[in-house]
Structure 1
């Protein structure tokens, strides 16, 4: 495989992570990114590593994959920080899921029961116990679930570190170079063509273009990845003395259109997110979206009312038909998918990078990613 040429379509954390692992092994890797590397969904994310908080009883395989990837994070952080010679802001304080009204507590109880049925390591807290952990929480908090093993990473730092590590290993990165089509000949993926007309042959093609993956031409309709954009509006505040939080805080709201999360950064920023909107490729901020985020944050932590507003932005998550990623081999020889990570792209970066690079280098699909191949949609 070291003599083969690997072309990766998409330079977010997934493409960069796979590319880094391959380049580190001595493979010849080229990444094509339509804009700036890592500046789409990877940049817009909050960096939560939360398989327990986001666990759903009807998605056991996704929970298992997320938990396995979270377990890899300490190793991933050590390797990446050493290779890039920079911190990626990995934090292990944990997550608090809070309710603010009796109806919220009822919903929280239901979530807690589901988590216990799944055998997850979570703890039920009274409102008072939650405020002892996070004094800035509202006095209205009625109860909380503590997920101590749900952590976080600064996704924007991870983007920068991955790009640096990848290029230091000899990986080639073409930014502002959108791939228009994949060339398939006799059932074999043989290369790519960019929008400016450049053609490049490759021995392995990896499609990791996030919500743009289904837009790439040349793919047979039967195996076109069912990935769509799911819009998320977000904002950042600047924490100040007396108005700080250490844990990730997530709200459960029974009577409101959306719940929010608050993610504290080491540099003092407080990320607040996120809307979930089926709006195609629309990336406009809306007054309603920002209002709901600020209202949700203020109800959880009233002190945010006084904090400076630093930034607002939107991102487009790559949502698959069943909300799980699409990983591994396809019916087209030499064409590999690594897309559709939806809300879990940052969480699933290590396991995707390790497993997909191993597949390319050895030709073997591990049991870890076998359930996530595109053929699950072909039945």
Structure 2
């Protein structure tokens, strides 16, 4: 969703507001919240909820108490309490929906120690804040060089300056514990600011940096996903996906979060299927399951002594055979059920007269027409004269 500042340039390309995640209208940011109670007036005698939600760089959001009863709306830049000094952020939500968000994030709104909103940011505060943010890329590059020089096995992924420019938070990822005491000394000496190191996971790193997934859309973790549930390879097995790490891994290097989206639907569908380890006993021998098609409701079985020939059966047919086996009865063979299935499939076939469904219809070269022979007009005239 674009904001009103993201208009089109002269060359037809999107110009963008160029605020790098600090858009004033809060229309093209990560994890934006729609205030559907904005146009509804409060009942008589009901005061506005005194807490607001403020967003800082990327997806970091915190709640602050509005003790000064400032008239705040979404998109206002405010100076908030921090330790030490103050920070600058953008108001993303006000009113009763803030209470819902605080309840969801398990934040106690009755806590008297909740940080406060000092004031609306002045032009001086905004200038200091913008100057500090413009230094982030340069400092991030320099801090990575210092970490490499010390031989530390860590990756500094992002730098976030405090609104007053007195402190910078360095977000890093690492496999093991890292001793960065010497790194902090070198960075404090080089940048002359207070340093805070904060370790984040690989999923949180991808959420902060953003990007485009293999589906062609923006990463879920950087747009709307707020809780990172654990993903394991069992989700891929239930969905009959090949266990290829290159296809199942996202930009964070972990399994894709979207593997959990349709997992419940697959689990519900698999309840109608017999378990894959279920054996079918026939007079020709014992058969084992080799493949399952959840969408079509089909299963493929092979005899243990003949693993080359696969027999396609429906869920109802397999359930019927299992029920007979439970009564210690054996069917003649799987070929009987497979032949019935083939006869049913032939009834649903149709003849493609036009050929519009053929994928190779354009591969055949078009035969060139032979040009018609034109008779010589002079020859015809001479023929008439001879007559």
Q: Aligning the two structures, in what range does the TM-score lie when normalised by the shorter sequence? A: under 0.3
Could you state the TM-score of these two structures normalised by the residue count of structure 2?
0.24
More strand by share: 1
Structure with larger RCO (C-alpha < 8 A, sep 6+) = 1
Q: Which has the larger radius of gyration?
A: 2
Q: Greater helix percent: which structure? A: 1
TM-score by length of 1: 0.25
